[in-house]
Amino acid sequence: MRGFKRKYWIVPIMAAIALILAVQKGIIPIGQAQKEAPAASALAVTVAEASMRGKVPKITLTGTIEGETSATVSAKIAGRIEQVLVQDGQRVTAGQPLVTLESVELANAVRMAQDAVTRAQANYDNVQADYQRYLTLYQQNAISRQMLDSVETRLKVAQADLSSAYANLSSARQQYGYATVTAPVDGIVANKTATIGQVVAAGMQLLTVEDINNVYAVVNIEQKDAGAVRVGQTAEITVDAYPGRTFTGKVAVINPAAGASSRMFRTKIAIDNAEGLLKPGMFVKVQLITGEEAPVLTVPQAALFQKQGLYYVYVVDGDKAVRRQVEIGAPLGDYIEIKSGLTAGQLVAITNVNKLKDGDAIFVAK
C-alpha cells in the first residue's frame, strides 16, 4: 500500500519534468505549453454590454419655494399690541383678525364723535325748522328778505357742521377699525414679529400672509443653460421633506436680465400646491426638462472608476481587461451616459473592478 502511494505521486512529477525538458529541447513550443498550463492568476469578472438608452435632456438646479402672493401685514396706526391671534404656519382667510391694538381711547373717540353728530343733527333740524317758518313768513310779506337771509346763513352753517361731524365720526370709526389688523388674503401666516405689549408705529410690519395654493420654485439659470430654457417647459421638483415624491411644475417667468453679481437668470417655476405641502422657504431640487428623449450610449455605473480626476472602465479584450478612459454624461438610474471612449456592443467589467489593473488576465464568470 505504501509503495502504491509513492507511485501515485511520482507520475505527475515525472510528467511535469518531461514537459519542461520537451520545452527546453524545442519539442513543444512555449506558447502551447502556456495554453496547456492552467491560468491560475486570471480574475473572474461579470460583464455588461455598452448599450443605447433613452435620455431626456435635463438641467439640474436647486432653488427655494416662494408663495404666489406674499402680503405684508403692517399696523395702520400707532399703538400697543393687545392680542396676537395667530402663529406662524397657521392658515387664515381674508378678513380674519390677526392682531389687535389697545383701543379704549379709540372707542372713546368714536363715542365723542357720535355725540357730536347727534348735537349737530339736532342743531341742523332746529335751524331747518326755523328756515321753513321764516320762508313762510317771507312769502306772506311778514318779514324782510334780510331776516330770511340771516336764517338761511344759519342753516348753511348748521349743515356744514353736521357734515363735519359725520366726517369726524367716519374717521374715528376707521381709526378704531384699524386697531384690529386683519388678513388681506387667504394664506399661511409667516414671518410673525408681533408680540403682546409691543408698541408699534404706523406702517411697522407685523407679519406676512403667504398665498400657497399656487407656489413657485425659484431657481437661477446659468448663462450656458439660458438658451435651452423656455416658458412652459416641464420641471420635476423634489423636496427632502417628502422623500420619494415628485411635484410637477412649469416654467412661468424668466427674468430677461441676468443678476448684476451672479450673472444668472432668476426663473420662477409654477407649481400647483392645492394640498399645501410646499411651504415658502423650503429648499428644493429641480430637474428642468429642456428637450425630447434621445438615445445615448450607457454602461452600468458599477463599471466606472475614477483616477486622478479622470474616469475609466475596463473593456474585455479576449482574456484581458484593458483600461479605457471615457467621458461621462448624466446618470440614468443605475447607468451612466458615455459621451466618448466606447462604442455600442463593447463589453465592460462590472465586478472586481477595484481589483483589476490594465492588462490583467480575466475570465467571464458564468
Angle between helices 145-178 and 104-139 (to 10 degrees): 160
Alpha carbon 230 to its chain centroid, in Å, reads: 18
51-65 core/surface letters (b: 16 or more CB in 10 A; e: else): eeeebeebbebebeb
* H-helix or E-strand spanning residue 81: strand 79-84
Cell of 113: 364723535
Torsion angles phi and psi, residue 18, rounded to 5: -65, -40
Domain ranges of the chain: 43-55+294-364, 61-67+209-289, 103-178
What's the pLDDT at 37? 44
Q: Which CATH class is domain 103-178?
A: mainly alpha
Mode of pairing for the β-strands spanning 265-272 and 205-221: antiparallel
pLDDT band of residue 39 (cuts 50, 70, 90) is low
Instruction: Give the DSSP letter string of 232-300.
Output: T-EEEEE-TTSTT--EEEEEEEE-SS--TTT--EEEEEEEE-TT----TT-EEEEEEE-S--EEEEEEE
Q: Which of 239, 274, 267 is nearest to 251 (CA)?
A: 267
Cell of 146: 334780510
Tell me the average pLDDT of the chain. Answer: 88
* Average pLDDT score over residue span 296-324: 95
pLDDT digits (tens, 9 = 90+) for 354-366: 999 999 999 998 7
* Average pLDDT score over residue span 29-35: 46
pLDDT digits (tens, 9 = 90+) for 238-251: 999 999 999 999 99
What distance in Å separates the CA atoms of residue 162 and residue 123, rounded to the nearest whole number?
8
Q: Which CATH class is domain 61-67+209-289?
A: mainly beta
Q: Are 285 and 219 in contact (CB under 8 A)?
A: no
Eight-state DSSP code of residue 350: -
Q: What is the pTM of this model?
A: 0.56
CATH topology classification for 43-55+294-364: 2.40.420
Measure the CA dihedral 217/222/223/225, to 10°: -80
pLDDT digits (tens, 9 = 90+) for 292-303: 888 999 999 999
Residue 5 has pLDDT above 70, yes or no: no
What's the pLDDT at 327? 96
Distances (CA, A) of 176 to 24, 98, 261: 116, 15, 47
Amino acid type, 233? Q
Q: Is 25 helix (H, G, I), strand (E, B) or coil?
A: coil
What's the pLDDT at 67? 84
